[in-house]
Structure 1
Amino acid sequence: MAKCDASQYIGFGREVRIQHPLETITIVLVLLLAVVVSEYLSRMLRLPIPRPLVQIALGGAIGLIGDFQVTLNPDIFFLLFLPPLLFLDGWRIPKEELVRDSKTILALAFGLVVFTVLGVGLFIHAMIPAMPLAVAFALAAVLSPTDPIAVSAIAARVPIPKRMMNILEGESLLNDASGLVCLRFAVAAALTGTFSLYEATADFVWVAVGGLGVGFVVTTIINAAKNWMARHYGEDTGSQILISLLIPFAAYLLAEHLECSGILAAVSAGVTMSFSEASGQAMATTRVRRSTVWDMIQFAANGIIFVLLGEQLPAILRSAAETVRLTGHHDPGWLLIYVLAINLALAVLRFAWAWVSLGFSLFRARRRGIVIERPSWRFVVAMSLAGVRGAITLAGVLTLPLVLNDGSPFPARDLAIFLAMGVIILSLVAASIGLPLLLHGLHLETNTGQRAEENRARMAAAEAAIAEVERVQHELAEGKSDADLYVAAAARIMDLYRARIEAQSRAGEDAALARQIEAIEARLRVAALKAERMTIYRLLRTRKIGSETARKLVRELDLMEARYEG
């Protein structure tokens, strides 16, 4: 968090005071504590309430009872939160599903974004003439990206079809970038008062291609250098994790320096990272620890954003009377009407786009002689409702400039922030209530293809392991008098892999019986692993083993248990 001259900031209709560094650190710690508390509260309540709503409520409570107000430099806010989140999305999204549903994802991520920016932007300007058209387009641009994190929180309480989740994740990965690029052009038009379609198109090509290229080049070079160092001088887990944390920021900053899209650079860096990591050069320990670190960063960053949203709500609501005057009204209730109307417009446009796109896809399939059953209308409505807004929308709207080029306040900035926050909250509430009702009782596809693929991979891996054990056993035992020891040790290991191959072979003959046996075996193994762990802790408490030994053994058991419970 950075604080500059207070004269540079007017936050939510009030002057921003300069904060002492100790107070800033305290705010950070309070926000992190609120994120932790939100997780426990969401589990304790056992209500169909997604965690982001709990975090918003906690943030609101902090804003009411706390004596501090958080105001971030928009550029710093953007830099702190977006690169790592988008990088991680690009890194972890399933690439096969992304390719399989690429046409649907691209239509939602680019076509729907432009459709939303134009349609909702014109709608907002017509509904609120006091908001300039460029600002209305900017607001529509930050409202166009969807947030899969919030949907995942909802999915924890109601089963969402896997393919539907893959499409939503892929859409979010790309529409974050396209929506924020549209925001950039809308803000530029608001600042300069002019807009050229030709220049915007040329700039968009450079911004998009340059951003994607920067992300690819930066990640490729860094990974090549990192792997070379690891091969020649060994691999240090801590430095490997730190490098992965720095990559998205390096790509983002270089792209912004070249006046490309830092957002697309972060996404491209994440996708490139996933392909680079497919080589498997990193140590297993590095991958396990790095995954844990990134899980924590994702949890903390998303949580802080929602807590910040809630923390700002009391101040925004206090200024609602002043904000509503910008619209030509005096009753603050009009702000709620505007939020409802914008949410409805977003849902209608998304439903119309999804319905027309689906019809076009079915028409093309019929032209090729492929008969595809039209999905239930409830799936289409669920897809529309699942497009909730979240962290990216909040981050984007807070980056609206504070002043124009001539030094005058940015028009309707407070109103745009209020409406964006209202849309985020209302879309979360609507999805929390609507998705369980829409998806209840619908047949969800089974993932038999992926299970068969997993079985084939396990058998191939086991066969390769047996061959390698035999090779290493002969290599180690050659010319040694105790060769029988190597044969016995190798036989014990190979028996485990042969049992796995036999189990996977049975799975093809009797899938239901194999799954039942596998489930029973998993429960027995988990019970055994828990008993081992409790024994290790007992030995540690009685000081029969040291803490270092206990930590190592418990880590091994945790990894094995995660394999059966994952």
Structure 2
Amino acid sequence: MILLLAVVVSGAISRMLPVALPTPLVQIALGFVVGLAGHWRVTLDPELFMLLFLPPLLFLDGWRIPKDALFKDLSTVVELALGLVLLTVVGMGFLIHWMIPAMPLAVAFALAAVISPTDPIAVSAIAARVPIPKRMMHILEGESLLNDASGLVCLRFAIAAALTGTFSATGAALSFVWMAGAGILVGVALTLVVTRAKAWVSRRFGEETGSQILISVLIPFGAYLIAEHVHASGILAAVAAGVTMSFAEISRQALAVTRMRRNSVWDTIQFAANGIIFVLLGEQLPEILSGLDQTVEMTGHTSPWWLALYVVAIMAGLAALRFTWVWVSLRITLLRRAPSGKTGTRPPWRLVAAMSFAGVRGAITLAGVLTLPLTMGDGTPFPGRELAVFLATGVILTSLVMASLGLPLLLRGLTMPPEPSQQAEEDMARVAAAEAAIRAVERVQHALAEGRDDADVYAAVGARIMDGYRERIESRAADGDLRNEARASERIERDLRLAAVQAERDQIARIARDRGIGSELANKLMRELDLLEVRYK
């Protein structure tokens, strides 16, 4: 309850502050305050944390991310999610071991593995006040969906190397292929089986909204647990389940009321889980800082400022690797897409810098570093664990602050390549839907009016409905000035209808307060007005 209360309060505080401070930083600060009270602090179990929070959030990201945008930039996403992660693990592992010789190389690789994945949750929160361009955000979301798995796979092998003192590149590659392939297969298969089964039940026996919503909530947890049981990637299973869910829903549509209520439930889950993650991160800070003296002593220094210097050096290394990789990746992409005989253009440095600053670390990094074992196989303490936890936490906080300060400056006034307009596709779809609606109204109108004395009433009502659809077709099929005039008319109609809906709502509320109608009828009328308002907004 305290965690949820902190999430609610953080949202209010972030809106009240005179400066644009991202909500995750406010949540971390509140979590730190809660963590100072030892009897309220949550002891974070990494495996339970990953089970409770990651499957639903990654499932929802995979479900809602635009698939056409993801597939259009799939090569760039894979380069960032796989190539950059491997480069980060190797490069930062050697750098950390060189800076801190007391930390064994395998442990340094483990730390590099947990700081390699990025966190889209933090980036989305930071971008709320300074919107990130759509295409750039899609690439960042796709990267974060995939690099979690590759980073955690590298972490497993680094821990195994630290515990056993051996490492097999061939075994690691085969294991990675199995974990990724089996994880994706589990997510796809489970989602298809579940959605087809519930569609069959709904067709035969009717649809119950509550059950449908609960099934959608259970799918990511089932995919995660099954994948982990067969030693595959539960994270990729949850992502694959979300991506498959979006395609399965197209062919097996749920009731409109189910979709609306389900969206509301998932929005609430996303808001609560995202907030609790950062509050939990803040709660861990007092315990991490309490062992600061022993952590400094392990490095061979006496001043805690050396730890801050290490965090800065790690951040500089991460930024340099990411900037270089993004620049090379964009350069190759531009060269590949340049017309024959031309050399292409250089990627804007501000765009590359923005992509680099957007590589924020978050929940995966925290959960991953806390999975480092407490002891070795012989019972001795795991070398450098406390130091790795502190450095990972420092990287999370520093990356959040840097992105909060740097992204607004880099994105302000940044001109992105123009996105292809989807207006023609939208017009085509609306015209096709309107034509299908007209045919359906004509068919049902004739069926209902057949053999009745008041057939003219059915004809008049049907004509009134079809006239509205014909106006839509004409406005979308017109060219030039006629289309602009039609769209201006639509905007005016929308504003007038919204004003009318608001007036209706105020009047119904006034009548309900005066006890002119009952609460049940008032709620029904308000619900109808809410649907109309959503339709025109």
| Residue 471 (1) aligns with residue 443 (2) | yes
1:461 aligned partner? 433
Contact 1:63 1:310 in 2 (8 A): yes
Residue 299 (structure 1) shift:
1.1
Task: Give the whole-Å Cα distance in 2 for the aligned partners of 1:260 and 1:347.
Answer: 31
Query: Relative to structure 1, is the Cα distance of residues 66 and 454 closer, same or farther in structure 2, using a 3 angstrom cutoff?
Result: farther
Task: Give the whole-Å Cα distance in 2 for the aligned partners of 1:39 and 1:239.
Answer: 31
Residue 371 (structure 1) shift:
6.3
Residue 286 (structure 1) shift:
0.8
Task: Give the whole-Å Cα distance in 2 for the aligned partners of 1:405 and 1:269.
Answer: 36
2:20 aligned partner? 48
Query: Relative to structure 1, is the Cα distance of residues 482 and 399 closer, same or farther in structure 2, using a 3 angstrom cutoff?
Result: farther
Contact 1:42 1:51 in 2 (8 A): yes
1:5 aligned partner? none
1:228 aligned partner? 200
Task: Give the whole-Å Cα distance in 2 for the aligned partners of 1:527 and 1:516.
Answer: 17
Query: Relative to structure 1, is the Cα distance of residues 406 and 525 closer, same or farther in structure 2, using a 3 angstrom cutoff?
Result: farther
Contact 1:74 1:400 in 2 (8 A): no
| 1:396-411 mapped onto 2 (5 Å cutoff) | 396-411=368-383
2:307 aligned partner? 335
What is the TM-score when the length of structure 1 is the normalising length? 0.90
Query: Relative to structure 1, is the Cα distance of residues 559 and 137 closer, same or farther in structure 2, using a 3 angstrom cutoff?
Result: farther
Contact 1:109 1:171 in 2 (8 A): yes
User: For 1:14-42, what per-residue CA distance to the aligned partner results, in whole angstroms no more than 9, with x for missing partners?
Assistant: xxxxxxxxxxxxxxx00010011111111
Identity of aligned residues (%): 66
Q: Determine which of 69, 78, 81 is the counterpart of 1:97.
A: 69
Name the amino acid aligned to 1:337: L
| Residue 120 (1) aligns with residue 92 (2) | yes
Residue 73 (structure 1) shift:
2.2
What is the TM-score when the length of structure 2 is the normalising length? 0.95
Name the amino acid aligned to 1:251: A
| 1:111-260 mapped onto 2 (5 Å cutoff) | 111-260=83-232
2:280 aligned partner? 308
Q: Determine which of 344, 348, 353 is the counterpart of 2:316.
A: 344
Residue 420 (structure 1) shift:
1.4
Contact 1:365 1:371 in 2 (8 A): no
**3-state DSSP of counterpart to 1:323:** helix
2:454 aligned partner? 482
Q: Determine which of 57, 60, 66 is the counterpart of 1:88.
A: 60
Task: Give the whole-Å Cα distance in 1 for the aligned partners of 2:295 and 2:28.
Answer: 21
**3-state DSSP of counterpart to 1:278:** helix
Residue 510 (structure 1) shift:
6.1
| Residue 378 (1) aligns with residue 344 (2) | no
Residue 381 (structure 1) shift:
0.8
Residue 427 (structure 1) shift:
0.9
Task: Give the whole-Å Cα distance in 1 for the aligned partners of 2:259 and 2:192.
Answer: 18
Query: Relative to structure 1, is the Cα distance of residues 485 and 68 closer, same or farther in structure 2, using a 3 angstrom cutoff?
Result: same
Query: Relative to structure 1, is the Cα distance of residues 510 and 193 closer, same or farther in structure 2, using a 3 angstrom cutoff?
Result: farther
Contact 2:82 2:147 in 1 (8 A): yes
1:425 aligned partner? 397
Query: Relative to structure 1, is the Cα distance of residues 501 and 58 closer, same or farther in structure 2, using a 3 angstrom cutoff?
Result: same
How many residue pairs align between the two structures?
537
2:335 aligned partner? 363
Contact 1:161 1:445 in 2 (8 A): no
Task: Give the whole-Å Cα distance in 2 for the aligned partners of 1:191 and 1:290.
Answer: 45
Name the amino acid aligned to 1:559: L
1:69 aligned partner? 41
Residue 511 (structure 1) shift:
6.4
Q: Determine which of 253, 262, 273 is the counterpart of 1:281.
A: 253
| Residue 553 (1) aligns with residue 514 (2) | no
Indicate the RMSD between aligned Cα atoms, in angstroms.
2.0
Query: Relative to structure 1, is the Cα distance of residues 444 and 358 closer, same or farther in structure 2, using a 3 angstrom cutoff?
Result: closer
Q: Which moved more, 1:209-218 or 1:365-374?
A: 365-374
Task: Give the whole-Å Cα distance in 2 for the aligned partners of 1:168 and 1:355.
Answer: 15
Task: Give the whole-Å Cα distance in 2 for the aligned partners of 1:430 and 1:222.
Answer: 43
Structure 1 unaligned runs (5+)?
1-28
Name the amino acid aligned to 2:474: E
Contact 2:35 2:286 in 1 (8 A): yes
Contact 1:507 1:513 in 2 (8 A): no
Name the amino acid aligned to 2:519: S
Q: Determine which of 447, 452, 474 is the counterpart of 2:424.
A: 452
**3-state DSSP of counterpart to 2:101:** coil
Q: Which moved more, 1:486-495 or 1:383-392?
A: 486-495
Residue 493 (structure 1) shift:
1.7
1:441 aligned partner? 413
User: For 1:417-466, what per-residue CA distance to the aligned partner results, in whole angstroms no more than 9, with x for missing partners?
Assistant: 21112111111111111111112222245556123322322222222212
1:318 aligned partner? 290
**3-state DSSP of counterpart to 1:281:** coil
Query: Relative to structure 1, is the Cα distance of residues 468 and 455 closer, same or farther in structure 2, using a 3 angstrom cutoff?
Result: same
Structure 2 unaligned runs (5+)?
none
